[in-house]
A and B are shown apart, each in its own frame.
Chain A
Amino acid sequence: MDFDLSSEQAQLKDSVERLMGAVYGSLDARQALAKEPLGFSEKGWAQFAELGLTGIPFSEEEGGFGGGPVETMVVMEALGKGLALEPYLASVVLGGGAVRFSGSAEQKARIIPGIVDGSLRLALAFTEKQSRYDLYDVATSARRTETGFVLDGAKSVVINGDSAHRIVVSARTDGGRRDETGISLFLVDAAAPGVRTRGYPTQDGGRAAEIAFSGVVLGEETLLGSLGAGLPILERVADHAIAALAAEAVGIMDALHGLTVDYLKTRQQFGVAIGQFQVLQHRAVDMLMALEQARSMALYAAMMVGHPDAAERTAALSAVKVQINRSCRLVGQEAVQLHGGIGMTMEYLGAHYFKRLTMIESLFGDTSHHLRRIGQAGGLVSAS
């Protein structure tokens, strides 16, 4: 049992943190980049690729660097602290994850090198207007034809969907809307006829898109994995997303807690630093406890996300998301409260951290969703 980073991992952490400093430098610079058409700078994204970050989870045979969940954790934590806008989650973890877990050798060879060198960006389209967090709730359909499939339907809040070149889409090839079988994944060209994408800014400074598919003609080579067996792949990708978001949230909470404690030490009222007031001290400690519990669960996520038993993996990642969500809520709200008025302003970094934490809560399942899932599964599987 050893929770230390290896020297390579520590180096990775340093270099991502330095990169964040180089790309953004200041909150103003970040806010300016958020207004670019893609929602981030292509130059910054190219630097991600140069540094090798985009290749981390892919094996060396696939053209990547053979990193594991701990490396992804290290990167995401630093991206969280830096409030990164780049589509790392969307392209590498989500889209890249779907290809990594289900692509044929031919598909991997066609797609992964582009993800790794930064020239090909992916997104994952799975949310529909009625689905909330149920990955199996899929109305979008892919009808069999002689040469492949025809895709019809619509996906909502596709993260970085407006800057992706390829979109991994969940679609029903069999069964009813809420059946767990009969879901297939397709790798859809964002520029294909019949794909209509409307991008918009998100609350946390990022971008998402509504994407409609009408009569999109797909060749056989676009099917990822076996026909009708897409759900286990989606669930695996979602669990990796939770692990990544957990690390991102920890990076943010750590930075936000630090900002808050510094503020308590410097802000003067009633002739003293407000950090001398016990009621505020205790709230800062509550934040610390929430942060450390979240940090532990981000580590647990890294430990469990590769677990061979899907039921155990899923229960563990649900538990992770519940803790992360609750910590995000507490740390975010308390940070604003302890800052007082300044915490309410667009010009203050802490406010942007708070907003991102709040959005993380509603990505890949809110607290109720995951509690219900664990409850239905009969509790956490004993780890020992």
Chain B
Amino acid sequence: MDLRFTPEEIAFRDEVRQFFRTEIPASIRRKVSEGLGLAREDYVTSQRIMNARGWAVPHWPREWGGQDWSPIQRYIFTEEMLLAAVPLPQQFNCYMVGPVIAAFGSPSQKEKHLARIANLDEWWCQGFSEPGAGSDLASLKTRAVRDGEHYIVNGQKAWTTLGQHADWIFCLVRTDPAAKKQAGISFILIDMKTPGITVRPIITLEGRHEVNEIFFDDVRVPVENLVGEENRGWDYAKFLLANERVGIARIGLSKERLARIKRLAKEMPAGDGVLWDDADFRERFALVEIELKALEITQMRVVAAQGRRDPNKPDPASSILKIKGSQLQQATTELLLEVAGPFALAAPLRTGDLSNDWPFEHDWADAAAASYFNNRKVSIYGGSNEIQKNIIAKAVLGL
């Protein structure tokens, strides 16, 4: 047992740390750090810088731009990215549809899309959830009916994150209505410019346009856009969801946020001094730090065991990453809200250059409540924490 990084791993860490902190524009990293929301160009700029270095999709197969990194290197890479407040490479592209196409796509799908996905020349969004299919995803109703060389798609997808920027959407659709639930689902790729697609914004509670509803009205999709085999889509979706679980706990993000909270609490006047002087605040802060430290070690245990465990036996440590990680992300936003104190009430509009015209000093505080509100999502998306517990109870505890 040796719980330290090797000198090579430390050298690698320093290399990626240097890269993220010098190559990715500070303005983009500031937006991530302060929770201000990114423009499409910000994602594109950041990802293309990474891709030029060969680092946008390191977890992909080598022939499609991946790196032969060890699980520990991948872990270090993701953590350093989060610690530097660098936006993750567009997730639907790099962590979801890319790996699925690389594993199950046709040769022409790979040629057509993979390089463009990695460079964010194509922006992809995810068409899984529906108004009636949330936690019970397999009850989805969007239909694709074969008509010669096309599928005719009708239905509605919901909670489509950043779908307003999308060039393409990957969808789970029902191709066999007679089959039981999971069995009749296919995975297809749809060009967002196809006639019959309508995108309607959903404004989330903090006031931002992050998610959308997407309506499909007799949308004609070429049969060649089917991924893998018809009615096997559920298997590909499971592969997608299991792909690249490391990083799901977002430890680096929470750490970066805690460091910022500490900084702000040391500046925020309170009593005769600053908020950080308040022993009670510091103890509550410490509690979050401690749990985060424990989760960081838990994540390292998972990383160290990667590739050496029986893939059919779930790792009890990995199963808690999503639940605890989301809880801690939320706990950090609660602390930030507390630091903002009364100033959290103000909700002025920011201008394009992110300055705001408000009349007092703590001009970061408007984003505190917004982050808090927005982060309620992290225990809901990607399989709610309650669904995660159902899965752990069954798969790990055998209940």
Chain A interface residues toward B at CB < 8 A: 1-6, 9, 70, 261, 264-265, 275-276, 278, 281-282, 284-286, 288-289, 292-297, 299-300, 302-303, 319, 322-323, 371-372, 374-376, 378-380, 383
Min Cβ gap B336→A in Å is 15
Report the number of A-B residue pairs with Cβ-Cβ less than 8 Å: 135
Residues of the B chain whose Cβ atoms lie less than 8 Å from the Cβ of A265:
398-399
The 0/1 profile, CB within 8 Å of A marked 1, for residues 315-335 of chain B is 011001001100000000000
The 0/1 profile, CB within 8 Å of A marked 1, for residues 264-284 of chain B is 000000000000000100110
The answer to whether A281 touches B393 (Cβ under 8 A) is: yes
The answer to whether B300 touches A285 (Cβ under 8 A) is: no
Residues of the A chain whose Cβ atoms lie less than 8 Å from the Cβ of B2:
1-2
B252: nearest chain-A partner, CB-CB? A384
Whether B11 is near chain A, meaning CB under 8 Å from some CB there, is no
The 0/1 profile, CB within 8 Å of A marked 1, for residues 114-155 of chain B is 000000000000000000000000000000000000000000
A303 to B297, CA, bound (A): 11
Residues of the A chain whose Cβ atoms lie less than 8 Å from the Cβ of B262:
379
A276 to B398, CA, bound (A): 10
Known contacts A289-B324, A374-B282; 14 further A-B pairs (Cβ under 8 A): A3-B1, A3-B300, A70-B1, A265-B398, A278-B393, A285-B397, A286-B389, A292-B298, A296-B295, A296-B296, A299-B301, A302-B1, A375-B285, A379-B285
Q: Which of B81-133 contact A (CB under 8 A)?
A: none
Residues of the A chain whose Cβ atoms lie less than 8 Å from the Cβ of B320:
288-289, 292-293
The answer to whether B293 touches A300 (Cβ under 8 A) is: yes
Whether B203 is near chain A, meaning CB under 8 Å from some CB there, is no
A323 to B291, CA, bound (A): 7
Please list 22 pairs of residues, one from A and one from B, whose beta carbons are closer than 8 Å in the complex, sorted by A's number: A1-B2, A1-B3, A1-B300, A1-B304, A2-B1, A3-B301, A4-B304, A281-B393, A281-B397, A281-B399, A284-B397, A285-B393, A285-B397, A289-B323, A293-B294, A293-B298, A297-B297, A299-B3, A300-B294, A302-B1, A374-B283, A375-B282
Residues of the B chain whose Cβ atoms lie less than 8 Å from the Cβ of A9:
1
Residues of the A chain whose Cβ atoms lie less than 8 Å from the Cβ of B9:
1
The 0/1 profile, CB within 8 Å of A marked 1, for residues 366-399 of chain B is 0000000000000000000010011011001111
A380 to B294, CA, bound (A): 12
B308: nearest chain-A partner, CB-CB? A4
The answer to whether A297 touches B294 (Cβ under 8 A) is: yes
The answer to whether B283 touches A375 (Cβ under 8 A) is: yes
The answer to whether B1 touches A375 (Cβ under 8 A) is: no
Whether B305 is near chain A, meaning CB under 8 Å from some CB there, is yes
A18 to B298, CA, bound (A): 28
The answer to whether B316 touches A288 (Cβ under 8 A) is: yes
Whether B347 is near chain A, meaning CB under 8 Å from some CB there, is no
Residues of the B chain whose Cβ atoms lie less than 8 Å from the Cβ of A297:
293-294, 297
A300 to B396, CA, bound (A): 24
A274: nearest chain-B partner, CB-CB? B399
A297: nearest chain-B partner, CB-CB? B294
Does more than half of chain A's interface fall in helix, strand or loop, or is it mixed? helix
The answer to whether A376 touches B291 (Cβ under 8 A) is: no
Min Cβ gap A314→B in Å is 13
Residues of the B chain whose Cβ atoms lie less than 8 Å from the Cβ of A264:
399
A286 to B286, CA, bound (A): 21
The answer to whether A380 touches B293 (Cβ under 8 A) is: yes
A300: nearest chain-B partner, CB-CB? B297
Min Cβ gap A323→B in Å is 5
Q: A261-B398, A372-B279 are in contact. Are A285 and B298 (CB under 8 A)?
A: no
Residues of the B chain whose Cβ atoms lie less than 8 Å from the Cβ of A278:
390, 393
Residues of the A chain whose Cβ atoms lie less than 8 Å from the Cβ of B397:
261, 281, 284-285, 288
The answer to whether A282 touches B389 (Cβ under 8 A) is: yes
Whether B69 is near chain A, meaning CB under 8 Å from some CB there, is no
A383 to B301, CA, bound (A): 16
Min Cβ gap A153→B in Å is 31
Q: Which of B194-211 contact A (CB under 8 A)?
A: none
Q: A1-B9, A3-B304, A284-B399 are in contact. Are A323 and B393 (CB under 8 A)?
A: no
The 0/1 profile, CB within 8 Å of A marked 1, for residues 1-15 of chain B is 111111001000000
| Residue of A288, A289, A303, A322 touching B3 (CB-CB under 8 A) | A303
Residues of the B chain whose Cβ atoms lie less than 8 Å from the Cβ of A289:
320, 323-324
Min Cβ gap B122→A in Å is 35
Whether B290 is near chain A, meaning CB under 8 Å from some CB there, is yes
A264: nearest chain-B partner, CB-CB? B399
B71: nearest chain-A partner, CB-CB? A1
Residues of the B chain whose Cβ atoms lie less than 8 Å from the Cβ of A275:
399
Whether B338 is near chain A, meaning CB under 8 Å from some CB there, is no
A67 to B170, CA, bound (A): 55
The answer to whether B304 touches A379 (Cβ under 8 A) is: no
The answer to whether A322 touches B290 (Cβ under 8 A) is: yes
A5 to B4, CA, bound (A): 15
The answer to whether B386 touches A282 (Cβ under 8 A) is: yes
Chain A CB within 10 Å — which of B4, B9, B286, B297 has the most?
A: B286
Residues of the B chain whose Cβ atoms lie less than 8 Å from the Cβ of A296:
294-298, 301, 317
The answer to whether B3 touches A319 (Cβ under 8 A) is: no
Residues of the B chain whose Cβ atoms lie less than 8 Å from the Cβ of A70:
1
B320: nearest chain-A partner, CB-CB? A289
